[in-house]
Chains A and B, each alone.
Chain A
């Protein structure tokens, strides 16, 4: 009896020991997995920073690209081009996306149509951006007969719309129903409730969502390849091929010239720093706000 009990006890101890061991192993493995992600992030950012800083100087921001073989020059036109196209895309996409998101949240929450559009938007958010480039080529570049900054801006806008619409919807849903009822009880018309109560309550969240969408499209390359194309000159309006940082990066990095490859790293640094700074601050604000509430 006693011997049996001892044996049983020993078994339990051995099994507990194995369970603890397995637990430790899994803990370690998952910690390593998470750490490896951060190591890669550090590696990529470090590489971009080290190689990028070699290219960044005053001329980088103020001069036009130098012809192949010549040293010096900068990417001033591409920087301006990316900023202008991203801004134009935001101007087109934000009202569109906010309106659509408003309908989805306020009127179409349960309707079949709303569900369909919500589903399609979620798919469009992750849809291949190069296909959007092909689409805009077909509807704008070919009919107009030339590549243009407008076509680039429209492709970026198409990528932004579903993102803005979905984040707007999520943010509006967070606004408590009582607020709407209180305003309705005061006899306010619905448009006034939207503009003065609901948007105001959701403003911070909507702005962060929009900033994240802007940061995302600012780093997009594929939809610009055959819409905006690229150009080594200053822009004279948006109705012509337009220089931009990402396509320049692509062309320069694939080129055989060392100078150009260095420039490409400079562009990579600039775009990464811009996108990550925007993402980081907006995420931080979102986190801080969610802690406060």
Chain B
């Protein structure tokens, strides 16, 4: 009987993919492959393309990874190896709590607290320093891809930090002691023993955070600006797949509009499936090699 419920999880997964695919058929038939490469988004003329939303999703996620990965691996090292023992428990609980804060709270906080600060301080200084790049041009509005990336970074930081911390904690004590024994400093133990040993696990943790960032809805929807316009500037308002769904799904009034939104959902599901699949593969590979 318990087998039936286990099969239920498999059935659920299949049902999600099949129903999304089936319901997006009108859009798939009408736009074909060009759905993925078109920047059109025109509900009045029933002309839809996913490129702006896909680009917004990828760019905001990439930005989040660039900011979050070094910080979270640093924090994980601190919690696993470098910190004095009495600090580890409170810091560890703090990071876990940061991971538990609902994403809508991050979104609201990003909109009301962070985005004015970004508009007043971060964007003007970025524009002054790198304004010759198209990435940092345009009016400093505070909401846009840049802010979305930063809020996402803050959100995935604790996920990556806690997974990589667990990976570092699995490094056998005698390996580390051997390295300390030949006179390595803590950093050298980390660089030459712990990071090579936990390589796959770290990659898994990073991809897990990436999967979260790609599919995150609320933290992004508040701050990305929700504009269906492609722009090279990180300051410009944009859109992600998830924020498009959140804003427009209940407003879709024609079959093809709804089907296009569902196809967006399918694209998002497939992208995150690949990223999370890789993440789990690495996390598993990491742990089976260790036990065998």
Listed in ascending order, the chain A residues whose CB lies under 8 Å from chain B are: 19-20, 22-23, 26-27, 29-34, 36-38, 40-41, 43-45, 47-48, 51, 96-97, 99-100, 102-104, 106-108, 113-114, 116-117, 119-124, 126-135, 137-139, 158, 161-162, 165, 215-216, 218-222, 225-226, 229, 246, 249-250, 253-254, 261, 264-265, 268, 271-272, 275-276, 279-280, 283-284, 287
Closest to A265 in B: B108
- Shortest beta-carbon distance from B205 to chain A in Å: 12
A30 touches B74 (CB 8 A): yes
Across the interface, which residues of B come within 8 angstroms of A43, CB to CB? Answer: 113
Closest to A264 in B: B108
Q: Given A119-B280, A220-B102, A276-B101, check contact A161 B12 (CB 8 Å).
A: yes
Across the interface, which residues of B come within 8 angstroms of A264, CB to CB? Answer: 108
Is B224 an interface position by the 8 A CB rule?
Answer: no
A128 touches B217 (CB 8 A): yes
Is B15 an interface position by the 8 A CB rule?
Answer: yes
B105 touches A27 (CB 8 A): no
Across the interface, which residues of B come within 8 angstroms of A96, CB to CB? Answer: 5, 8
Across the interface, which residues of B come within 8 angstroms of A122, CB to CB? Answer: 276, 280
Q: How far is the CA of A165 from the CA of B9 in the complex (A)?
A: 9
Is B180 an interface position by the 8 A CB rule?
Answer: no
B19 touches A135 (CB 8 A): yes
A33 touches B74 (CB 8 A): yes
Closest to B211 in A: A126
Closest to B246 in A: A225
- From B9, B15, B105, give the contact of A135 (CB < 8 A): B15
Across the interface, which residues of A come within 8 angstroms of B82, CB to CB? Answer: 26-27, 30-31
* A-B contact sample (6 more), CB < 8 A, given A117-B6, A225-B246, A253-B111: A29-B74, A40-B157, A120-B9, A127-B272, A132-B16, A135-B19
Closest to A121 in B: B9
Across the interface, which residues of A come within 8 angstroms of B105, CB to CB? Answer: 44, 48, 219, 268, 271-272
- Shortest beta-carbon distance from A233 to chain B in Å: 18
Q: Given A44-B109, A128-B214, check contact A37 B102 (CB 8 Å).
A: no
11 A/B residue pairs, CB under 8 Å, sorted by A: A22-B185, A26-B186, A33-B72, A34-B78, A44-B101, A48-B105, A99-B4, A117-B9, A127-B273, A139-B15, A268-B104
8 A-B pairs with least C-beta separation: A128-B215, A219-B102, A33-B74, A99-B5, A103-B2, A222-B217, A23-B185, A34-B75
B93 touches A280 (CB 8 A): yes
- Shortest beta-carbon distance from A140 to chain B in Å: 11
Q: Given A225-B249, A268-B105, check contact A34 B93 (CB 8 Å).
A: no
Is B46 an interface position by the 8 A CB rule?
Answer: no
Is B212 an interface position by the 8 A CB rule?
Answer: yes
B218 touches A126 (CB 8 A): no
A253 touches B108 (CB 8 A): yes
Across the interface, which residues of B come within 8 angstroms of A272, CB to CB? Answer: 101-102, 105
Q: How far is the CA of A226 from the CA of B258 in the complex (A)?
A: 12
B19 touches A221 (CB 8 A): no
Is B10 an interface position by the 8 A CB rule?
Answer: yes
Q: Write the B90-131 contact mask toward A (1 if CB under 8 angstroms, else 0).
A: 010111111011111110110111000000000000000000
Across the interface, which residues of B come within 8 angstroms of A44, CB to CB? Answer: 101, 105-106, 109
- From A38, A220, A253, give the contact of B222 (CB < 8 A): A253
Is B250 an interface position by the 8 A CB rule?
Answer: yes
Across the interface, which residues of A come within 8 angstroms of B188, CB to CB? Answer: 19, 23
Is B167 an interface position by the 8 A CB rule?
Answer: no
Q: How far is the CA of A81 from the CA of B255 in the complex (A)?
A: 31
Q: How far is the CA of A146 from the CA of B104 in the complex (A)?
A: 25
Across the interface, which residues of A come within 8 angstroms of B111, CB to CB? Answer: 253
B217 touches A130 (CB 8 A): yes
- Shortest beta-carbon distance from B132 to chain A in Å: 30
